[in-house]
Structure 1
């Protein structure tokens, strides 16, 4: 598999136990380092596992605040759980953030998955097959709201009746759709709707297998597989940037071009500058 796009590097910060000021400091630092092109937060309401206590800022309200105080980075939620918010409301929220950011939103969305969070907040969690079908409807509904003056939609799960989305996003025709997932049925939705595909499987070998499946689904519907950028998260240990370099390179070799580094908050040990100089810049030079 050959790389068909330039490499694109970004960061992701988790909100658990992080203050707005600390997150903003990391994002503004990344905003001033040209190799980083995008920044992301997650869509959790609380810490997961056996000890879910501690502060956790909500993603879309936080993203709006970060959008207003950055100037260059493309921004997004990686990825929004479709089950948490009605997609029509999410379309309005995302359009507002695109306006606030002057057209820098990457629109991240996925099926939703955390039983713990859905149970805690009293949000229904449909079975996996229904969640995938809901995701497909949501993508179509959101795109209609962004493109049509008044959107009417009659789906199995969602309905609209001459609904406006005004103002529209600034990006035309719309902000890029970033969809996360790796199951076969989810990949079919990704083939139809995604501009960027994020996949979190463990190894480059499995990633390559999933990429081939996605390519086949694209071909089946008449879409050029090269029109979808391939994304991957990379965890960063500040004491071992060589490991981040090697892992990134291994995924680049199987077609990843959109690379997202999990970085701590606050930015300890001047990590962002080290990550740029020791990992991202050398890899960019090697794969030009």
Structure 2
């Protein structure tokens, strides 16, 4: 079993310099393979008036100062940007990183942000259907010269996106969400990585089985989609996080994103690697 571990620094209630220190530490540790930010415009925990750096701007900066880590946003809110614009942003980050982007995308959910910024927040069903169209639209812009597209929500007419991403045919799609009737069908169709946020191991196992069913219905091998789990690290209780990760590995997860809460302790990524990542890789691989 090939396991993959990464870190996440939510760009809220912290500074660019502090996050950069953590990312550069992760860059030096081979067992940490990827690093992530979130896609919000104001803090989603605690004081919403505090600092919050914009995710795609920040990940492009980190792409320029790293050379090994895969990187992305977990996950981009589809409602925040027209997907044609997002396709250009993603292609640019893949070029800057020399082919290290993992393209995270979700339907969007934060009502406070949508209201504050005047961004329409559609019904859950419409948001998920828009997500499906966005996946198709971005895929076409990354693989076709000047695609046109006629969907229910989005339209293109000879839409150029140059340069194309470095990765061929395109950067891997990570889709976040667990809706059983619509979201998991989109995951089955488009995702290379499925991020299952929330819930316990039994919930993950049930959703993973449903995803396998959706894959089989369209003739796709379910094992071609990595199962990803986001967890939050408690630096004072590393063993508890290790036990939780182990339980998800035993349930079939292979891709883990560990959020490091602020303030970031010194050498926290090294401790994460030595206490959790490397022992579990030795145990299961």
Give how far 1:50 is off.
7.1
Distance, in Å, in 1 between the alignment partners of 2:245 and 2:184 is 23
TM-score, normalised via structure 1 length: 0.97
Find the partner of 1:264 among 261, 264, 268. Answer: 261
Counterpart among 49, 52, 61 of residue 48 in structure 2: 52
Task: Name the structure 2 match of 1:75.
Answer: 71
Asked if 1:37 corresponds to 2:33, the answer is: yes
Residue 148 of structure 1, aligned match among 138, 144, 149: 144
Q: Which residue of 2 aligns with 1:188?
A: 185
2:204 counterpart of 1:240: no
Give CA-to-partner distance per residue, 1:79-108, whole Å, 9 cap, x none: 000000000000000000000000000000
**Residue 20 (structure 1) aligned to one of 3, 12, 16:** 16
d(CA) in 2 for partners of 1:200, 1:243: 18
Match of 1:220?
Answer: 217
1:134-145 pair list within 5 angstroms: 134-145=130-141
**1:273/1:70 CA distance change after superposition, 3 Å:** same
> Counterparts of 2:219 and 2:209 in 1: how far apart (Å)?
15
In structure 2, the residue matched to 1:201 is: 198
| Shift >2 Å, 4+ stretches | 48-51, 264-267
Are residues 59 and 215 of structure 1, via their aligned partners in 2, closer, same or farther at CA, if it must alter by over 3 Å?
same
* Mapping 1:107-146, distance limit 5 Å: 107-146=103-142
- Alignment of 1:283 with 2:253, yes or no, is no
1:175 equivalent in alignment to 2:163: no
- The number of equivalent residue pairs is 284
Q: Which ranges of structure 2 fall in alignment gaps of 5 or more residues?
A: none
- Contact 1:109–1:179 under 8 Å retained in 2: yes
The counterpart of 1:231, out of the listed 228, 234, 247, is 228
State whether residues 9 and 260 of structure 1, in contact with CA within 8 Å, keep that contact through their aligned partners in structure 2.
Answer: yes
CA distance, structure 2, for counterparts of residue 9 and residue 48 of structure 1: 24
- 1:271, distance to aligned residue in structure 2 (A): 1.5
Contact in 2 for aligned 1:26/1:265 (Cα 8 Å): no
List per-residue Cα deviations over 1:119-152 (Å, max 9, x = no partner). Answer: 0111000000100110000000000000001110
Q: Structure 1 CA distance, aligned partners of 2:248 and 2:255?
A: 10
Distance (whole Å) between structure 1 residues aligned to residue 4 and residue 31 of structure 2 = 8
Q: Deviations over 1:29-68 (max 9, x none)?
A: 0000010000000011111367311110000011111100
Query: CA offset at residue 267 of structure 1?
Result: 3.1
